[in-house]
Amino acid sequence: MGKLVICDHPLIQHKVTLIRDKRTNTKDFRELVDEVATLMAYEITRELPLQTITVETPVAETESKIIAGRMLGIIPILRAGLGMVEGIVKLIPGAKIGHVGLFRDPETLKPVEYYTKLPTDVHERALIVIDPMLATGGSAIAAIDALKKRDCTQIKLACLIAAPEGVKAVQEAHPDVDIYLAALDERLDDHGYIVPGLGDAGDRLFGTK
């Protein structure tokens, strides 16, 4: 079974509270999601392999560590995943970005795929799938399915807020995938919304409601 990591650093918890608040406007919401994504990236990349190189400081030559040329890919699930991209890429500027477009049918709650564009070497990369919300888990499972269909094997999932139902569904469908969250909430409501959650992440990020 993959790891379930709750990134509960005080800065993350503080910012998630502001993100949840219905009075937070679109501009602040977007900035806070970006900031939390950066803080989570710190935890998600904790196990990146390092290599030692020689570097000359103004004082002396020394051995020092750099990331060992690991090829990374960031895979936002459209739309709301876009809100986390910059926050992560800031720390990993060499990562390639692939997009998986899915929306959740409001009646069936099943994901509908409408767009996929991935780096040609995606199967060689360690991937981080990002989406602020993990509700039923249908969208995350479909995005990971799409990556596995293209022979990707190293996949992590990072979401801001999850329902236990979504975590369980992803763990059952993809037991090899580690899941990183900023908060694990109580449950889903009858419309598949996370309680207490933050409402509709896409609408709050892009001001569409």
Q: Does 192 bind ligand PRP (CB under 6 A)?
A: yes
Active-site residue, 104 included: yes
Q: Does 197 bind ligand URA (CB under 6 A)?
A: yes
Give the burial class of 114: count Cβ atoms within 10 A of its Cβ; 0-12 exposed, 13-18 middle, 19 or more buried: exposed
The CA distances from residue 118 to 25, 115, 163, 186, in Å, are 32, 10, 28, 34
Give the burial class of 175: count Cβ atoms within 10 A of its Cβ; 0-12 exposed, 13-18 middle, 19 or more buried: exposed
Q: Report the site for ligand URA in 132-191 (rule: CB under 6 A).
A: 133, 135
User: Smallest gap, in angstroms, from Cβ of residue 163 to ligand URA?
Assistant: 8
Pick what 131 binds: ligand PRP, ligand URA, none; C-beta below 5 to 8 Å, kind-dependent.
ligand PRP
Neighbours of 100 (CB within 10 A): 26
Active-site residue, 108 included: yes
Selected catalytic residue, list 20, 24, 70, 203: 203
DSSP one-letter code for 52: E
Pick what 134 binds: ligand URA, ligand PRP, none; C-beta below 5 to 8 Å, kind-dependent.
ligand PRP
Q: Report the site for ligand PRP in 27-46 (rule: CB under 6 A).
A: none
Beta bridge partners of residue 75, listed in sequence order:
129
User: Smallest gap, in angstroms, from Cβ of residue 113 to ligand URA?
Assistant: 16
Q: Report the site for ligand PRP in 107-166 (rule: CB under 6 A).
A: 109, 111, 131-140, 166
3-class DSSP state for residue 60? coil
Q: Which amino acid is at 148?
A: K
Active-site residue, 105 included: no
Summarize as ranges the residues that interact with ligand PRP (CB under 6 A): 77-80, 102-104, 109, 111, 131-140, 166, 192, 200-202
